[in-house]
Amino acid sequence: MSHHPKPDRAKIEKWNGVLSPYWGADTPKSVTQIFTSLIPYAALWYAMLRSLEVGYWLTLLLAVPAAGFLMRMFMIQHDCGHGSFFKSRKARDWVGRFIGVLLLTPYDYWKRTHAYHHAHSGDLDFRGFGDVDTFTVKEYMSWSRAERLRYRISRHPLVMFGLGPIYLFGLKHRYPYDIPDHWKKAWKSVWWTNVAIFAAVVLGGTLVGYQRFFLIQIPIQFAASSLGIWMFYVQHQFEHTYWHSHENWDYYDASLYGSSYLVLPKVLQWMTSSIGVHHVHHMSARIPNYKLQQVHDENPEFHGVTKVSFKDTLKLISLALWDEENRQLIRFKDLKQLKAA
């Protein structure tokens, strides 16, 4: 188990004073979010089924909003895992497990790895588990050509947002080889989720035919997974993000300066359940998604964080290495300037 430097007590009390009024679930809002996610998703799935009689182009077109609602359901699972969606732990866990089947994501496994991400985000000495693999310039320069090429390939957009979703949701979530055997609950979640996914496929294939089932489900799953990875990427991968060695790491600074404020059009913000207000979420995961924007708006302490627009995200994709001397993420092509200097 890792031990971070002990946070300043005054800082803890300060932030708890700001954030604690927003802690906890609003049950009617949580229930409403479930219905406004599941019902449109089911309706779009049925529309896609009927659209096969018109043309597959229409099916693929409808897969985009369907993927959006599947992402919205991920936010429900996400908040269940953080304990902020329902007051009842049993309700949170079973809703999270059910949605995990739709998302191809074992809930208890994801819950534990994601907690690690929150506990270590921005810590250079605790990378590679529940985050996007990011290496420093010094590390990169010490590698062989083969190692550098492998990292460059892994950072290519077609790999991250094309092959990445297939690997993560199709393979790694089916058998997470990197977690220890003593994580009994996580492994149990993996196996039962796999069984439930198999049962869902058999049921869907029996009801509508396997070919039609896969023609509908695969595009939804792929689009939602790609969008989800993109969302996760831009939340922490921006030029002046926060990375520090373990001894200098601070939870609140990492949360505030290492998480972006993704400003989206209102429709997209609603579809993504305001998770783009990511700095607030990392400051306190006990705040449910439908309160995040309110927290940001009502507290000036959050108004100076890094804002990222939808257009800005296209530029962030090329950032790949942490420059420890200049304290910023850089692109591979920026290495030439560093060498020249």
pLDDT in tens, 48-58: 999 999 999 99
220 in a structural domain: yes
**Measured distance between the N- and C-terminal CA atoms of the chain, rounded to whole angstroms:** 40
Asked if residue 110 belongs to a domain, the reply is yes
Evaluate whether residue 4 is within a structural domain: no
Place of tokens 């739709």: 102
Q: Has residue 167 got a pLDDT over 50?
A: yes
- What 3-state DSSP class applies to 329? strand
Task: List the domain range (segments joined by +) for residue 79.
Answer: 9-340
Torsion (CA) 299, 302, 317, 63 in degrees, nearest 10: -10
Rounded to the nearest integer, the mean pLDDT of the chain is 93
The residue assigned the tokens 């309160």 is 291
Beta bridge pairs of residue 322: 136, 329
8 A C-beta contact, residue 167 and residue 159? no
The whole-angstrom distance between residue 239's C-alpha and the CA centroid of its chain comes to 19
Is 0.85 topped by the overall pTM?
A: yes
pLDDT category at 3 given cuts 50, 70, 90 is very low
Q: Is the pLDDT of residue 136 over 90?
A: yes
Which of 258, 253, 256 lies closest to 237, judged by CA?
258
Whether 187 shows a pLDDT value over 80: the answer reads: yes
The residues pairing with 319 across neighbouring beta strands, listed in sequence order, are 331
Beta bridge partners of 149: none
| β-pairing verdict for 135-136 and 319-323 | parallel
Residue 75 in any domain: the answer is yes
- C-alpha 301/C-alpha 199 separation (Å) is 48
Other Cβ atoms closer than 10 A to 260 = 23
Whether 3 maps to a domain, the answer reads no
One-letter amino acid identity for 119? A
pLDDT at 10: 78
Burial classification of residue 322, based on how many CB atoms lie within 10 Å of its CB (0-12 exposed, 13-18 middle, 19 or more buried):
buried
The predicted structure's pLDDT at residue 2: 43
- Asked, for residue 2, whether it belongs to a domain, the answer is no
The answer on pLDDT for 236 being more than 80 is yes
Task: Kindly indicate the confidence band of residue 131, based on its pLDDT and cuts at 50, 70 and 90.
Answer: confident
- The predicted pLDDT at position 7 comes to 58
DSSP 8-state assignment for residue 181: T
Evaluate whether residue 260 is within a structural domain: yes
C-alpha triplet 266, 268, 272: angle, nearest 5°: 115
The answer to whether 82 and 59 have CB atoms below 8 angstroms apart is no
Distance CA 193, CA 310 (A): 34
**Number of structural domains found in the chain:** 1
Q: Which two tokens stand for residue 42?
A: 């089911």
State how far the alpha carbon of 130 is from the alpha carbons of 10, 29, 116, 233, 296, in Å. Answer: 29, 28, 7, 12, 25
Q: Which three-class secondary structure state does DSSP give residue 320?
A: strand
Beta bridge partners of 136: 322
